[in-house]
Amino acid sequence: MRVPEKYYDEKFDFRGEWDMLSTCGLKIVRKASKDIVVVTELYQENPGTSVTYAGSSLLLQICEAKGLDLNRVIYVECNPDTRSKLSFYNEEYFFVQFREKDGKLTDPTYKQMTDQEICDLIYG
């Protein structure tokens, strides 16, 4: 199952759990007030950790690699439409927030976004 490139601008290699080589789709939309980071799960194209399980580590690696200020980032996870009959593979976007504690990002919270919310965020 291949994820269409419409969901990302590049593939981003990152260190997943136990430093396992992992890959996600990445789209960064730079705006005046915030940078929007959208990571896309690539399913079978990803040899390692999923974007959800990589969580804060993935966000920090993206910020470091792309020179982004963590305090200006809106972080979104995408489960793309793969045209599967299984509801697990339905297209979904989640706004993810982490709590900063002792210099680490912990306790992620997820809010599912509507199609309109993701369009407004990226294109509005």
pLDDT by residue (tens digit) across 55-104?
899 999 999 999 999 999 999 999 987 776 665 556 899 999 999 888 88
H-helix segments, the chain: 51-66, 115-123
Is pLDDT above 60 for 53? yes
* Nearest CA among 13, 44, 40 for reference residue 26: 40
Whole-prediction pTM: 0.91
Determine the structural domain holding residue 55 and report its residue range. 5-123
Burial 43-53 (b: 16+ CB within 10 A, else e): eeebebbbbee
Number of domains in the chain: 1
